[in-house]
Amino acid sequence: MASPFPRSETRRVHLVGSLPRSVAPDVASGMRWVLDHVGSAQVGALPCDVDPNWIIDYLLSRAEVPAFEVARPGDGSCYAEMPVYRVRTGHRLTVDDVALGRPREIAAAVRARRELGAAPPVQVSVPSSLDLSVFTVGLAQMPRVHAVFEQMIVGEVTRIAQRHGAEVTFQLESPAVLYALQRVPPAARPATARLLAHQLARIITATPRSAQWTLHPCYGDLGHRALFRPAGLRHAVLVINSLAARLRTVGHPVPAVHIPMAHGDQPPPSAASAYVPLRDLARGVEVIAGCVDERHPELSARALRYTEAALGQPVAGVAAACGHGRRTADEARLNLELSEQLAQTSRLPAGVR
């Protein structure tokens, strides 16, 4: 598909996570599909999660772990039907009880990448330990068990990074940060952002310094519906700035950040004023604009233009607001084709509004 916009080579295409099952029955097929459809644009990394519901499956599988007993049943079909567990009386939770099993899965994905002869690294989706512990045991129990989840995630990331080096990159994912900032009173948001950013920074700084990270603050996308209706981009800016300040204080590189402009099945905002909070983003943070909505190509282009105008510089990449796993194969293909176009446009002409 020919692009109607002038071309440049300043942005990469970022795939946030999973792919539709029909195009990714296995890891190699999914990677091949991405490479076949990204066109001439540079893709930042190759997603390796063939199951869009892998986190849901993880939560459901805790019922089979002797350490847990069901506190609230649920089949994971929607946000209201998520199961919640409690640690069985007399049991001390261990890393093995909460293991994700990512090292084994990523080893298989790296082998697939090598067999394909693909250049981009494998992207490893990493849930924040705060999110994973809250989703597993609920908010009330989380403080007592969070350290075990954090230890597990740091350990798995460390093993993957040490084994595979530059063949992998990590994406730290958290809907909890934006959800929490929306729920607390306005006066409490700066302190809450610092607290949440500190927790994210602990994971990043506890793993090998050579590990490459992207941060994905998320709105959730179960059933292609957001966990909540976001109030705008200001909360994302607040937590990103807090994370950047924390990491710079300890001399650690700040990761690229994927900022979702759209959410669920809703397109990005159409007004330039919605992107004004990005003017306050800390300088030097690489931004991936989560503005690509295949149903609204002109609006996606406008969102990209407004984003870069607010930032005062080109973004590092473009992406959908979340993974493609809850799209149809045709929708995912159209999204990737639009991503390719937007990745290679220069500053959009004044007539695109």
At residue 78, the pLDDT reads 84
- Separation of alpha carbons 57 and 150, rounded Å: 20
Show the tokens assigned to 287: 């931004």
- Separation of alpha carbons 152 and 171, rounded Å: 16
235 and 186 Cβ atoms separated by less than 8 Å? no
At residue 350, the pLDDT reads 40
At residue 347, the pLDDT reads 52
Angle at alpha carbon of residue 280, lines to 346 and 233, rounded to 5°? 80
pTM of the model: 0.91
Pick the CATH number of 12-50+88-343 from 3.20.20.210, 3.40.50.720, 3.40.630.10, 1.10.1610.10: 3.20.20.210
The residues facing 238 across adjacent strands are none
At residue 79, the pLDDT reads 83
- Separation of alpha carbons 294 and 244, rounded Å: 31
47 and 30 Cβ atoms separated by less than 8 Å? yes
Show the tokens assigned to 345: 């446009």
Query: In order along the chain (353 residues), what is the average pLDDT of each group of 10 residues?
Result: 44 93 93 92 91 90 96 89 94 97 96 94 96 95 96 98 98 93 94 96 97 92 72 94 97 96 87 97 96 95 96 95 90 95 70 37
65 and 97 Cβ atoms separated by less than 8 Å? yes
Residue type, 271: A
Residue type, 291: C
Measured CA distances, 228 to 84, 137, 219, 222, 233 (Å)? 19, 20, 7, 11, 14
Show the tokens assigned to 115: 């067999």
At residue 227, the pLDDT reads 76
218 and 260 Cβ atoms separated by less than 8 Å? yes
